Amino acid sequence: MIITIYSFLNCKHCNRAKEILTERNIPFKDINLKEPKNREAREYYRSIGAKTVPIIRFEDETLLMKFEEKKFLELLEKYYGK
């Protein structure tokens, strides 16, 4: 299962989510919404009504729309046992 993180550079919550995944050796895809090549990702971001980053999407389409570390860790435990 790959996790997708929709992020901005220098976003402390985005960086913390990526740090947690890296520490646990969980693969993820980081999509910087500010990069011009990520137009389709920005359209997706708008279509789900997102207002903040990071948006964390699990492969089964579960979304974490607001970064709450405790909730994120619970989801990682559920999906990865980590």
| CATH of residue 17 | 3.40.30.10
Q: In the prediction, which pLDDT does 34 show?
A: 96
Tokens representing 51? 């207002």
Q: In the prediction, which pLDDT does 3 show?
A: 96
Q: How confident is the model at residue 60 (pLDDT cuts 50, 70, 90)?
A: confident
Task: Supply the range of the domain harboring residue 71.
Answer: 3-80
Question: Given strand 63-64, what is the order of strands in its sheet?
Answer: 28-32, 3-7, 55-57, 63-64
* pTM listed for this prediction: 0.91
Distances, alpha carbon 82 to alpha carbons 5, 37, 77, in Å:
18, 33, 5
User: How far apart are the C-alpha atoms of 36 and 44, rounded to whole Å?
Assistant: 14
Tally of structural domains, the chain: 1
Residue 80 backbone dihedrals phi, psi, to 5 degrees: -120, -10
Q: How confident is the model at residue 82 (pLDDT cuts 50, 70, 90)?
A: confident
